[in-house]
Structure 1
């Protein structure tokens, strides 16, 4: 049987690069070990002889400005940036070309995450490891991290331990009444909860709101009371 030899090279298919990159996504609620998993993967890649770089959002200054830090204190030096597009410029083209693996922590804060992953993996041949929250405290999509899933080679969904019952926690519960989406904090503001306690917590809040509303005096009643006192 005559062997078929394609006239199209792999390098021409992927834009001149001999090896295409990869995208790996790690998601889950707070306190699920996302950053720990990211650091473990980055350190493994470094131990294998690959050149690595770590990026985090400059918005996150909880533990250190120039390091990615886990909740239990593990550290790794990083670039703290307002956006991902500035990474290559700050690093320099020559140094950027030497990078094999890029880790991105708290990826939900980067609006240009999708575009960066496309370019870095598809055109620059980088391995990108993304870690971040998939949902906010209202269980709605947080940032553009879910948009990267169609680009991903692998997706890992981690769970935490529910602070109230010890079961598997899939969601992040906000302890305060603040309603803005981006409210950076740790265990002082958030806790991981299971579905049952997330739903029961929502019910408790709604019940409290109903009780408080029942104690409000209507405006016309307030007028009548004021008139009686005159």
Structure 2
């Protein structure tokens, strides 16, 4: 009889854990903040995170370890506002690095510069669907060629909300939806700030991109001449 009772308690404990897991599953949410550079994505993310903290929720902020522009262990906006974070090469390793017990107590996870994480979709599914947490993703929706950048757009089908931000075109002051690279570098991942990129409207993206593309041909024969040509042309349109 004692053995039977012990067995029942063991099974009941397992059932309790299973019910707890079942209660968490599907109770999370995914929110995406996207747009071109200088559109306030990090600022919006930090505002959301601070709001969650003010409501008593436990939060953690993550960013890609590739982004070392302002601080290694902080998310920093272009106007200098910062928030402590975990800088990681990937997302799926975060629970173990953070500590499984501590991770289990988290309510909200913020992810900045999300375009640099190849496992973004997988992580968001785990956090929201399996672990019942809220994840807020902030990142570029397109690269300097207006192509999908990383996995940010992949997360949209599983998102509860999507916010598309705009910047201000540096040429005409109208709404800017695109990011223009000022030099002829063709790498998709080229981390930089206002020295490398500028937000532009459709008209001035097309105008300046044609100039930069033409200058790229000069780059093969004379790099310094091509770079100065691009800078001078963009300056003229400004």
TM-score by length of 2: 0.81
Contact 2:26 2:129 survives alignment (8 Å): no
Deviation for aligned residue 1:15: 3.2
Give TM-score, length-normalised by structure 1. Answer: 0.83
1:200 aligns with 2:207: yes
Shift in Å, 1:202:
2.4
- Alignment of 1:54 with 2:56, yes or no, is no
Aligned twin of 1:174: 181
Deviations 1:101-139 (A, max 9, x none): 000000000000000000000010010000000000000
Q: Where in structure 2 are the equivalents of 1:61-100 lying within 5 Å? A: 61-100=68-107
CA deviation vs aligned residue, 1:201-226 (integer Å, no higher than 9, x gap): 1233455578999xxxxxxxxxxxxx
Partner of 1:216: none
Task: Please say if 1:111 is aligned against 2:118.
Answer: yes
Residues 32-43 of structure 1 correspond to what in structure 2 (within 5 A)? 32-43=39-50
* Cα gap change, 1:99 to 1:204, in 2 (>3 Å): same
Alpha-carbon offset, residue 19 of structure 1: 6.5
1:212/1:63 CA distance change after superposition, 3 Å: closer
Residues in 2 aligned to 1:63 and 1:156: alpha-carbon distance in whole angstroms: 25
* Gap regions ≥5 residues in structure 2: 1-17, 221-238
**1:184 corresponds to which residue?**
191
The SS at the match of 1:15 is: helix
Distance in 1 (CA, whole Å) between partners of 2:161 and 2:170 is 29
- Rate the CA distance shift 1:19–1:164 in 2: closer, same or farther, 3 A: same
Q: Which consecutive unaligned segments of at least 5 residues does structure 1 have?
A: 1-10, 214-230
Corresponding residue SS for 1:39: helix
Find out whether 1:139 has 2:146 as its counterpart: yes
CA deviation profile, 1:78-99 (whole Å, cap 9, x unmatched) = 0000000110011111000110
- The correspondence for 1:22, drawn from 26, 29, 35, is 29
Matched, 1:127 2:121: no
Q: What residue in structure 1 maps to residue 52 of structure 2?
A: 45
